[in-house]
Amino acid sequence: MFTNWRKKSAEPAVSSDMLSKQRRYNSLVKALHADIFRYAYWLSGDKHVAEDITQETFLRAWKALDSLKDDKAAKAWLITILRRENARRFERKQFDYSDVEQDTLEDNISNSSEDQTDQYLIRRQISRLDIEYREPLLLQLIGGFSGDEIAELMELNRNTVMTRLFRARNQLKVLLEKSEVRGQSNG
């Protein structure tokens, strides 16, 4: 009785508010879920964990959606939530997922078998990269963030970020050249 009365008077304003929030959320999901999922995957090394983290991230994003003022900042905002969720995962239980999946990385994109082995190797090397080098590279390549933005997201200074990016590419380049040479000598 009391609730009905309350609903009647409050409903129109509330529902239009909710509708626009819902629309905003839906477009956020559509536009960014792939990047967020991939980022979570390369952070955790496991598709299921990545999906869980993505779910948690978007759920938290929904609850806090009113605090996102600028839609241009949405990606950085989501990444911040995601990094926090990922850290929380390690607080809960100390599993090293990256060990589990490294050798069974899935690949559904490349077509030719040559591409496939190539990509497989690259993926292996990326996931073997130290997390402190891997993460800035992910932010640069998946997120498309600048050095300053990465520094802000990771709460590091810009020089540290640039050094890590340098080392990440350097290591990958060396590792890939080495494995190519090995591949050639084996074949």
Partner 1 sequence: MDELKFRRQAYENPYNQDADFLQQIKAKPENQALVNELKHLDAKLCSALKISVPEDLADKLILRQQLQQHHKQRRRTGFLMAMAASIAFAVGISFSLLRLGPIDLAEHALAHVNHESVALHLDQNVDFKQVNARLASLKNFGNAKFIQQPGKVYFSSYCDFQGVKSLHLVLQGEQGKVTLFIVPLEKRMVLDQTFADSQYQGIGFETADAFILIVGEDKSDLNYVKDEISNIFI
The nearer residue to partner 1, 54 or 86, going by C-beta atoms, is: 54
Encoded tokens for 107: 């690949």
Contacts of 139 (CB under 8 A, 6+ apart): 39, 79, 145, 149, 150, 153, 154
**33 lines the binding site for partner 1 (CB under 8 A):** yes
Among 24, 62, 80, 102, binds partner 1 (CB under 8 A): 62
**29 lines the binding site for partner 1 (CB under 8 A):** yes
d(CA 56, CA 28): 14
> How many Cβ atoms from other residues are within 10 Å of residue 39's Cβ?
27
**153 lines the binding site for partner 1 (CB under 8 A):** no
Among 43, 78, 137, 154, binds partner 1 (CB under 8 A): 137
Among 119, 152, 175, 179, binds partner 1 (CB under 8 A): 119
Cα angle for residues 50, 52, 58 (degrees, 5° grid): 100
d(CA 162, CA 151): 9
Q: By rule CB under 8 A, what count of residues binds partner 1?
A: 45
Residues that bind partner 1 (CB under 8 A): 1-3, 6, 25-26, 29-30, 33-34, 37-38, 41-42, 47, 51, 54-55, 58-59, 62, 106-110, 118-119, 122-123, 126, 137-138, 140-142, 147, 162, 165-166, 169-170, 172-173, 176
